Every structure is written in C-alpha cells, then in structure tokens.
C-alpha cells in the first residue's frame, strides 16, 4: 500500500517554494505519496515540481475544491461555465504533475450552503462532471469526487448518494474519494459505506475525528481498514490534517480550522505514517486469518 500525506500538514502549497519544502519534509518523514491542492498556475512551476517529486521518489496526487464563484451546481450558467473551466485547468495541472487522479469536492462549491439542493443543481453538476471526466480520461486522469460533510457542501455527503451521481453521469472515469473525518459525520457505518463503494472508491483520506493525531479521536480505523482490505483497495491512503500556521485564512475558514491540535508537523507526519502502517498490517493479518 502507498501511504501519502497532504501538503496541508505543512502549508497550503500555493507557491513553488512552499510545495518543494513540503515534498522534502514528506519524503524525510518516510512517505511515498504527496497530495497537492488546487493552486494558481502562474505562481507554481508545475514542471519543476514534477521533476523534484520524481527525484525524491514521491508520487504526486492532485486535488481541488471550488470557490462559490466556480460552483458547478449553481443556478447561474455563468458560474457553472467558470467552474467547468477551473476543473479543466485542474485536470491539465494533474496531468502535468504526473498525477493519476484529480480528487476533492469538485461537484459543487466547497462551502457551507444555507439552502436545500434542487434537482436542477444535481443535474447541472452531473452534466459538467460527465464532460470533465471524458476530457480527464483522454489525459489519463481519473476523477474522484470527495464526499465531504454537510457543512462543506449540500449536494451529496454519502457513498450511496455518490454512487447515484456516478450512475446518472454514465461515466466510467468518475470515482468516489472518501475520507474518515467526513464519513464519521455522515455515514451510518464507515465499513459498510466503503464496501458499498467497492471498486468505485478511487481515493482515500485518513483524518481523525478531531483532525488531530491519528488515534487521539473516535475514528474506528480497524473497521475502515478491514473494509478497504475487503474491497481490494490498492490506491493511496493519504493522511490529511491542517497546519494552522502554514495554511491561509481562506482554507481555515472553509474547513473550520480554528485551533491547533499539534504544533510539530514533522512529528505529526511521522506518527501518522507509523499509525497507518500498523493499522493496515493488522487489517491484512485479520483478513488472512479468515481467508
Ligand atoms: Mn479530505
């Protein structure tokens, strides 16, 4: 299994220099996969980042979220068109980074909504993602939609909803990106949700219920990892947490990061990798015992 770490553990990765610093710290902590968020291509030398990652032996993953003015589920066609352009650009960046996928909450604005989603919002989003998924397929990039919790989108929050979305799209290049932090809020049972997702689970985030040290909260990692082993998941498992001092106010506002759970990012990352490896090995041993 490839274990990854999100750049947010160190910083919000909006410039070449901070991205390179994060990659070096991730490699030093022992990771072999590194996730980058969306960024402004004019501020990041994508080719240089890709070469540096290759030299370090790090596989890159790309993700992005959509600001309200790029909400592809919007009732305003101009906003939807702007959002589709942002997604097409994100696919191109993912391709140029050498990432096999683009993940994150790409199906709506990444924001707290104050209204119910309508059928029209759903259909609008599905039509956009179906088109973007086709373009992404031609670029060798799989799209994985992150099922975030109710405070960060209104369109869908569960694996069952995500599967309905994929069916409606008719796409074979749309997958689900699930995250233990969000599933802990929205799913009745994390293990059942992962099994229901099966081969449509395209990417996996590990986050503790308090966004702090893995094992310090209430996430049932045995249940989650047993299910991942059960479905034969073989893509990256990436720990996500937020560095309060390294991440910008825009990001902290969206994800409601209001306090510091830890201060030493390197120590957090090393402990997270040890924790994930240990829980994964336990899940493999349990599966082998009942094969
Ligand atoms: Mn996540």
Instruction: Tell me the two tokens of residue 108.
Output: 């709506």
Looking up tokens 């306090």, which residue turns up? 259
Report field, pTM of the whole predicted structure over 0.95: yes
Q: How confident is the model over 64-77, as pLDDT tens digits?
A: 999 999 999 999 99
State the DSSP code for 145. E
Compute the distance from residue 179 Cα to the ligand 1 centre, in Å: 5
SS3 call for 160: helix
DSSP for 87-155 reads HHHHHHHHHHHT-SEEESS-SS-SS--SS---HHHHHHHHHHHHHHHHHHHHTT-EEEEE---TTT-SS
Percent of the chain at pLDDT > 90 equals: 99
SS3 call for 189: coil
SS3 call for 109: coil
Q: How confident is the model over 247-278, as pLDDT tens digits?
A: 999 999 999 999 999 999 999 999 999 999 99
pLDDT value of residue 286 = 97
Measured between alpha carbons, how far is 178 from 194 in angstroms, rounded to an integer?
A: 8
Mean pLDDT of 78-96: 98
Compute the distance from residue 187 Cα to the ligand 1 centre, in Å: 15
Compute the distance from residue 202 Cα to the ligand 1 centre, in Å: 13
Compute the distance from residue 4 Cα to the ligand 1 centre, in Å: 12
Compute the distance from residue 244 Cα to the ligand 1 centre, in Å: 16
Res 19 pLDDT > 90: yes
Residues 175 and 143 sit within 8 Å (Cβ to Cβ): yes
C-alpha angle 65-70-71 in degrees, rounded to nearest 5: 80
pLDDT value of residue 92 = 98
SS3 call for 57: coil
Measured between alpha carbons, how far is 265 from 225 in angstroms, rounded to an integer?
A: 24
Q: Which is nearest to 205 in space by CA: 227, 174, 178, 185?
A: 178
Compute the distance from residue 50 Cα to the ligand 1 centre, in Å: 22
Residues annotated catalytic, as ranges: 146, 240
SS3 call for 177: strand
Res 236 pLDDT > 90: yes
Q: Is the sign of the CA dihedral 122, 124, 125, 129 positive or negative?
A: positive
Measured between alpha carbons, how far is 28 from 34 in angstroms, rounded to an integer?
A: 12
pLDDT value of residue 218 = 97
pLDDT value of residue 183 = 98
Strand spans (E) along the chain = 3-6, 33-36, 59-63, 101-103, 142-146, 174-179, 201-206, 237-239
Q: Which is nearest to 26 in space by CA: 8, 41, 47?
A: 8
Looking up tokens 């299994």, which residue turns up? 1
Q: Of all helices (H) and strands (E), which one includes residue 278?
A: helix 265-289
Mean pLDDT of 214-239: 98
Compute the distance from residue 181 Cα to the ligand 1 centre, in Å: 7
Mean pLDDT of 177-195: 98
Looking up tokens 């309508």, which residue turns up? 118
pLDDT value of residue 291 = 81
Average pLDDT of the chain is: 97
Q: Which is nearest to 83 in space by CA: 110, 62, 101, 103?
A: 110
The domain limits of the chain are 3-289
pLDDT value of residue 71 = 98
pLDDT value of residue 206 = 98
Measured between alpha carbons, how far is 94 from 96 in angstroms, rounded to an integer?
A: 5
Q: How confident is the model over 126-170, as pLDDT tens digits?
A: 999 999 999 999 999 999 999 999 999 999 999 999 999 999 999
pLDDT band at 42 (very low <50, low <70, confident <90, very high): very high
Q: How confident is the model over 1-12, as pLDDT tens digits?
A: 999 999 999 999
Compute the distance from residue 74 Cα to the ligand 1 centre, in Å: 22
Q: How confident is the model over 115-129, as pLDDT tens digits?
A: 999 999 999 999 999
User: Is 3.20.20.150 the CATH classification of the domain at 3-289?
Assistant: yes
């Amino acid at each position: 299994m490839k274990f990854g770490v999100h750049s947010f553990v160190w910083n919000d990765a909006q410039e070449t220099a901070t991205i390179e610093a994060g990659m070096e710290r991730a490699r030093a902590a022992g990771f072999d996969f590194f996730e980058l968020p969306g960024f402004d291509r004019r501020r990041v030398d994508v080719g240089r980042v890709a070469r540096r990652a290759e030299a370090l032996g790090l596989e890159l993953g790309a993700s992005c979220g959509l600001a309200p003015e790029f909400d592809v589920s919007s009732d305003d066609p101009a906003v939807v068109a702007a959002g589709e352009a942002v997604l097409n650009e994100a696919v191109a960046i993912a391709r140029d980074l050498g990432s096999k996928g683009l993940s994150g909450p790409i199906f709506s604005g990444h924001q707290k909504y104050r209204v119910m989603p309508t059928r029209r919002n759903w259909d609008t989003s599905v039509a956009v993602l179906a088109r973007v998924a086709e373009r992404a397929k031609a670029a060798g990039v799989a799209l994985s939609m992150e099922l975030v919790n109710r405070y960060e989108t209104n369109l869908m929050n569960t694996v069952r909803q995500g599967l309905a979305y994929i069916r409606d799209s008719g796409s074979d290049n749309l997958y689900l990106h699930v995250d233990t932090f969000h599933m802990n809020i929205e799913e009745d049972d994390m293990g059942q949700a992962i099994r229901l997702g099966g081969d449509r689970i395209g990417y996996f985030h590990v986050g503790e219920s308090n966004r702090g040290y893995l094992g310090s909260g209430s996430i049932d990692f045995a249940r989650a990892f047993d299910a991942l082993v059960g479905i034969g998941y073989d893509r990256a498992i990436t720990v996500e947490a937020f560095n309060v001092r390294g991440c910008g106010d825009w990001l902290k506002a969206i994800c409601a990061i209001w306090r510091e759970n830890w201060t030493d990012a390197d120590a957090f990352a090393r402990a997270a990798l040890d924790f994930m490896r240990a829980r994964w090995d336990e899940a493999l041993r349990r599966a082998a015992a009942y094969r």
